[in-house]
Amino acid sequence: MLATVIHAPRDIRVETVPDPVLSTGADAIVKVVAACVCGSDLWPYRGVTPTDEPHRIGHEFIGVVEAIGEDVAVVAVGDFVIAPFYVCDNTCANCRNGVSTSCLNGGWWGSDDRVGGFADGGQGERVRVPLADGTLVVVPGPVGDDEVPGLLTLADVMGTGHHAAVSAGVSAGDSVAVVGDGAVGLCAIIASKRLGATTIIAMSRHPERQALARRFGATHIVEERGAEGVARVQELTGGIGADRVLECVGTKESMDQAIRSTRPGGMVGYVGAPNGGPELPVRPLFNRNVGVNGGVAPVRGYIEELLPDVRSGAIEPGLVFDLELPLADAAEAYAAMDERRATKVLLRP
Amino acid sequence: MLATVIHAPRDIRVETVPDPVLSTGADAIVKVVAACVCGSDLWPYRGVTPTDEPHRIGHEFIGVVEAIGEDVAVVAVGDFVIAPFYVCDNTCANCRNGVSTSCLNGGWWGSDDRVGGFADGGQGERVRVPLADGTLVVVPGPVGDDEVPGLLTLADVMGTGHHAAVSAGVSAGDSVAVVGDGAVGLCAIIASKRLGATTIIAMSRHPERQALARRFGATHIVEERGAEGVARVQELTGGIGADRVLECVGTKESMDQAIRSTRPGGMVGYVGAPNGGPELPVRPLFNRNVGVNGGVAPVRGYIEELLPDVRSGAIEPGLVFDLELPLADAAEAYAAMDERRATKVLLRP
């Protein structure tokens, strides 16, 4: 089959690789309907993280089950499924606590799982899915082709934006500022509105993303950064800062912006993978009782909650996809996101 | 009147100082019934923070109102009152949000307030209390002398321990680990039990403090530190770590201990004033979805909630005082705490 392989920074190729096979009994083989490129895929693409040898890449996909192992009881051949960006059993103590990203038996796409061998990366034609009953969520059919972008966001970005809002404790009547206008930041706006926030401030300088932010529920746009950005957020929140600030970038600058934009006693919800590991400055947090909560988003646990709203059209996260390409053009998908010509690219095998 | 003055590290004197006088109209003069020495008073005592010139010290006291300004409406002469360790109006946006330590009009004992001049430090015979209606909480009389230690803890340590538990989100059935066995850590154990925690792990190496921790509700004692301490907490919590960890020290080591002892998806509540400003390591927080919440405790807002339980004896935070001295012996009070001969010292003018 065909799948995407990264050979080196800015060297993305779609190549013939071995077909996946069932191995553990708990596996499924899923034929990919759509996959996408994640902001975090750009790290090895840009050389921020090293690529020592060619390897498979990708971790967001939806598809149809083609085969199942003999121990698979929930998922059936023919089911349309959403895979979160990781593997989990959905039964261990951490999964039961809602932190399936810390599953005691889980793993990551594009690497060896502990018992069954290699689990494909998702940017390909098929994937071996370990722990299929825990990992996959079935979408009751029939599934329309126009539903594909929205459903695909539940594999990562919509659930991740939701996690930022949940981690910050967004609730009815809150003021929320969102730092970052990428796909996750935009989904965090959707999530904030859905959870009842009444003031939603999008920090964005891009006219097209500003427009999408407004469509998703942003009530205000702030273009300023740094101290000026903090001052603007305070102006819009009675002089004290936002109740909740959602950090959806992952740099030291964006985290500082988030912390300083939060009111005393407020909370930063963060999901931007810390790029280079910025440390959190404890004194400004302590003095103003600003909390920081979040991390790698356990989206598996959010899919059932968000799915009805995606299917009904109550929320429209699929709009974050502004480019669709065939899998064969994966290299162009990476380039478009790297050069910020696209917010989020959908790939069809 | 007599009051405590710090001249230099380890140079504490009780001296005659001017009597406080009403100045703003919103003030009260409180005759101190009892005051105490805070762990944070040891910072200048030990020279960790500089003492450039002699100045008044102390910030925890209870007493009886002797005089009020013409704008004071709630507090009356003769009232027995508890003062939190700071001044606040209890009406501004931050106070209404429960963060009276960030009061827009507030201030700190032992320094000039913005409009009325100097506000005494509390380790003295009398105090000028700015914003008396906001700052002071009246204890309905009569107040027994045996109630003094318990009531005095509401000025700081009991409310601060409670804030650690509230910030961490302690609720019924939780497992909680408490890092730090000083007065605040011991009060955090009381607070955790009061909020319904069923497993309460005290990390302590002092036999007397261990005994008090058990009396307050600790179900387990862990003497180990570092990786061994983490392993012991995990053993006691189904292998994953505590739901909530309360950091009541304020050093880099104690915060690291707290973060590593928390289960994925759990929360660290911290109230230990960051000594030297340790930064928080974001990667271990992000990867395991461990949040950090807390800060300088807004105890003013907790006094009404905790007062009935203190008065009924349902909780016994007054037991943290293991030494009582006359105000004239303030120097010995500091020495006893500095040398760890006492956990917490009560001073009587």
Question: What average pLDDT does this structure show over A257-273?
Answer: 95
Question: Is B285 an 8 Å CB contact of chain A?
Answer: yes
What's residue A199's pLDDT?
98
A289-306 pLDDT per residue, tens: 999 999 999 999 999 999
What's residue A281's pLDDT?
87
What's residue A276's pLDDT?
59
Q: Which residues of chain B are within 8 Å of residue A101 when distances are taken between CB atoms?
A: 264, 289
Question: Is A169 an 8 Å CB contact of chain B?
Answer: no
pLDDT at residue A277 is higher than 70: no
What's residue B251's pLDDT?
87
Contacts of B96 (CB under 8 A, 6+ apart): none
Contacts of A313 (CB under 8 A, 6+ apart): none
The residue ranges of every structural domain in chain B are 2-156+299-348, 160-294
Q: Which residues of chain B are within 8 Å of residue A288 when distances are taken between CB atoms?
A: 99, 102, 295
A217-258 pLDDT per residue, tens: 999 999 999 999 999 999 999 999 999 999 999 888 999 999
Question: Is A280 an 8 Å CB contact of chain B?
Answer: yes
A298 contacts B285? CB cut-off 8 A: no
B294 contacts A289? CB cut-off 8 A: yes
Q: What does CATH list as the number for B160-294?
A: 3.40.50.720
Cα(A140)–Cα(A75) distance, rounded to whole angstroms? 11
* A92-96, A189-193, B203-207, B274-278, range with the lowest pLDDT: B274-278
Q: Which residues of chain B are within 8 Å of residue A242 when distances are taken between CB atoms?
A: none
| Tokens linked to B31 | 């005759």
Cα(A88)–Cα(A137) distance, rounded to whole angstroms? 12
- Mean pLDDT, consecutive 10-residue stretches, chain B (349 aa), reads 98 97 96 95 93 96 98 98 98 98 96 90 97 98 96 98 98 98 97 98 96 98 97 98 96 93 98 76 93 98 98 98 98 96 96
* C-alpha separations of A70 from A27, A127, B267 in Å: 8, 17, 39
Beta-strand relationship, A111-113 and A345-348: unpaired
pLDDT category, A75, cuts 50, 70, 90? very high
Strand partners, B142: none
Residue A140 exposed, middle or buried by CB count within 10 Å (0-12, 13-18, 19+): exposed
| Tokens linked to A68 | 């199942």
Q: What are phi and psi of A227, to 5 degrees?
A: -60, -35
A93 contacts B265? CB cut-off 8 A: no
Instruction: Please name the residue of chain B whose CA is at the shortest distance from the CA of residue A239.
Output: B93
Q: What does CATH list as the number for A161-294?
A: 3.40.50.720
What's residue A272's pLDDT?
84
Question: Is A270 an 8 Å CB contact of chain B?
Answer: yes
Cα(A112)–Cα(A117) distance, rounded to whole angstroms? 5
Shortest Cα–Cα distance, A191 to chain B (Å): 19
Amino acid at B53: E
Shortest Cα–Cα distance, B1 to chain A (Å): 33
Question: Is A21 an 8 Å CB contact of chain B?
Answer: no
Q: What are phi and psi of A23, to 5 degrees?
A: -135, -40
Cα(B138)–Cα(B141) distance, rounded to whole angstroms? 9
CB A20 within 8 A of CB A120: yes
Instruction: Please name the residue of chain B whose CA is at the shortest distance from the CA of residue A269.
Output: B291
User: What is the rounded (10 degree) CA torsion for A159, A150, A219, A247?
Assistant: 30
User: What is the rounded (10 degree) CA torsion for B159, B165, B170, B171?
Assistant: -10
pLDDT category, A341, cuts 50, 70, 90? very high
What's residue A285's pLDDT?
95
Residue of B100, B131, B107, B132 whose CA lies nearest to B121: B107
Question: Is B278 an 8 Å CB contact of chain A?
Answer: yes
What's residue B77's pLDDT?
98
What's residue A107's pLDDT?
95
Kindly report the CATH class assigned to A2-156+299-348: alpha beta
pLDDT category, A278, cuts 50, 70, 90? low
Which 8-state DSSP code applies to residue B48? S
Question: Is B264 an 8 Å CB contact of chain A?
Answer: yes
A238 contacts B289? CB cut-off 8 A: no
What's residue A115's pLDDT?
86
